[in-house]
Amino acid sequence: MDRLQCKACGSHSMLPMDLEADESDELDFMTDEHEARFFTCHVCGDNWLSVRRVEAGDCRITFVHQMGLQPLLKRTATMTTSIVLNEDTVDRWDYFLGDAEVGEGRWRDTLDERRRVLRSICTN
């Protein structure tokens, strides 16, 4: 089984999940031909979704963190190759809080804060 370490609580409990139809309906950038992966942590509930889309030779991967919380925290990687994602092959990252584009620092602070809250909930 494809099991990843959770970046919020540190346990190896991130498991791939099937997306519920009603959850994917809310994501307007997602259609059937997109390759989507959804992982959730069975210990603290942290989760992320990645959607890969190839368009005219460009590859774009959108990551959404902690679905269910508002505003939606997401970032988009734009690459000129469609090879497996590796931070070095990303030409550009765009960061969003809901519909607003924000700087990387603010985006990471928001994600860190959300993970810190999750961690404190599951260690209490």
Closest contact distance (angstroms) between CB of 10 and Zn ion is 7
**71-106 CB burial, b ≥16 within 10 A, e <16:** ebbbbbbebeebeeeeeeebeeeebbbeeeebeeee
Each residue 28-67 as x (binds Zn ion by CB under 5 A) or -, in order, gives -------------x-xx-x---------------------
The one-letter code for the residue type at 38 is: F
Q: What's phi and psi for 78, nearest 5 deg? A: -115, 130
State which of positions 94-123 bind Zn ion (CB under 5 A). Answer: none
Class of residue 62 by CB neighbours under 10 A (exposed 0-12, middle 13-18, buried 19+) = buried
By the rule CB under 5 A, 9 interacts with Zn ion: yes
Closest contact distance (angstroms) between CB of 118 and Zn ion is 7
Q: Among the residues of 78-123, which ranges form H helices?
A: 104-123
Closest contact distance (angstroms) between CB of 41 and Zn ion is 3
Task: Provide the Cα torsion 98, 76, 7, 121; round to 10°.
Answer: 10
**Nearer to Zn ion (CB atom), residue 6 or residue 73:** 6
Number of shown-chain residues binding Zn ion (CB under 5 A): 7
**Nearer to Zn ion (CB atom), residue 9 or residue 111:** 9
By the rule CB under 5 A, 27 interacts with Zn ion: no
Residues binding Zn ion (CB under 5 A): 6, 8-9, 41, 43-44, 46
